[in-house]
């Protein structure tokens, strides 16, 4: 069972859910075609109770806020690399990533031809859950959050990608951890869309944490085949620590 999680406290999430109800015949709390639409009554970043639903994977339909105000569709895994957990989860704890489902959503979002950027984000914020999951978001500035058409495009892309996986018709390439780059890692996005790399957790340069690489490997379903390092997107000292730890773990890596 795939679970679509939404919250009426989140305008994009609410609009996406209403589209699924109106156009795809879904009902909150009822399973249809292997997909359950579930309303969270708390902030999505705090919705740790999702594990009780027993889903195989959860898609969190959410708003996205950016300091620049640039409108975008984004997808990302959940967790906190550092000592703070200001938006849900726990410090230095990662949720279980769902790289293949996230790649499918990224690809379907890129097909929406909505005229906005489509990208991965680095792993960040909560909730901390054991169900494989990811956030699929639209937003940017305040005005974008009320754009019903874009929220509907988000919902349709997630629905289409979920159906393709239920039908077993989706083919992904290698599963990878991404290391380096900024919060919006364009190199990893290109590898995903052009070569089918399915990224699980993405560790940006501002949160380099070699000691968490083993956790990143374990908390992914499926588990990664390799790590991809943006060699210009991380300083040499951190890069050496990271490659050393990858050697200890026994995870293959490539530099781009």
Residue-range domain boundaries for the chain: 2-166, 175-255
39, HSE (Cβ side, Cα atoms, 13 Å):
16
Q: What is the pLDDT along the chain (256 residues), one digit of tens a residue?
A: 999 999 999 999 999 999 999 999 999 999 999 999 999 999 999 999 999 999 999 999 999 988 888 899 999 999 999 999 999 999 999 999 999 999 999 999 999 878 899 999 999 999 999 999 999 999 998 888 999 999 999 999 999 999 999 988 777 789 999 999 999 999 999 999 999 999 999 999 999 999 999 999 999 999 999 999 999 999 999 999 999 999 999 999 999 9
User: 233-254, pLDDT tens digit by residue?
Assistant: 999 999 999 999 999 999 999 9
Ordered alpha helix ranges (H), the chain: 11-23, 99-110, 142-145, 148-166, 186-195, 213-218, 236-249
User: 162-191, pLDDT tens digit by residue?
Assistant: 999 998 877 778 999 999 999 999 999 999
What dotted CATH number matches 175-255?
3.40.50.10700
- Collapsing DSSP to helix, strand or coil, 96 comes out as coil
Architecture category of domain 2-166 in CATH: 3-Layer(aba) Sandwich (3.40)
Q: Look at the block and give the residue holding tokens 């990811």.
A: 134
27, HSE (Cβ side, Cα atoms, 13 Å):
4
| CA–CA dist 35, 55 (Å, integer) | 9
> What's the farthest any 2 CA atoms get from each other in the chain?
53
| CA–CA dist 163, 2 (Å, integer) | 9
- Collapsing DSSP to helix, strand or coil, 229 comes out as strand
Q: Environment class of residue 84 by beta-carbon count within 10 Å: exposed (0-12), middle (13-18) or buried (19+)?
A: exposed
Total-model pTM: 0.97
């Amino acid at each position: 069972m795939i679970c679509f999680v939404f919250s009426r406290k989140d305008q994009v999430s609410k609009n996406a859910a209403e589209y699924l109800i109106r156009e795809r015949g879904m009902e909150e709390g009822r399973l249809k075609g292997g997909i359950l639409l579930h309303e969270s009554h708390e902030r999505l970043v705090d919705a740790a109770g999702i594990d009780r639903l027993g889903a195989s994977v959860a898609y969190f339909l959410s708003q996205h806020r950016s300091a620049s105000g640039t409108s975008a569709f984004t997808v990302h895994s959940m967790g906190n690399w550092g000592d703070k957990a200001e938006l849900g989860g726990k410090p230095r704890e990662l949720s279980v990533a769902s790289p293949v489902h996230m790649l499918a959503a990224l690809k379907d979002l890129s097909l929406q031809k909505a005229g906005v950027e489509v990208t991965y984000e680095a792993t960040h914020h909560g909730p901390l859950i054991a169900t494989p999951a990811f956030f699929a978001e639209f937003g940017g500035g305040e005005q974008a959050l009320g754009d019903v058409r874009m929220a509907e495009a988000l919902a349709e892309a997630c629905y289409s990608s979920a159906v393709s996986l239920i039908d077993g018709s989706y083919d992904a390439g290698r599963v990878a951890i991404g290391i380096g780059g900024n919060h919006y890692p364009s190199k990893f996005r290109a590898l995903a869309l052009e070569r089918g790399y399915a990224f699980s957790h993405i560790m940006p340069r501002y949160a380099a944490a070699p000691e968490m690489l083993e956790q990143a490997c374990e908390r992914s379903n499926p588990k990664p085949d390799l790590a991809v390092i943006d060699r210009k997107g991380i300083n040499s000292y951190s890069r050496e620590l990271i490659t050393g730890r990858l050697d200890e773990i026994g995870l293959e890596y490539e530099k781009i």
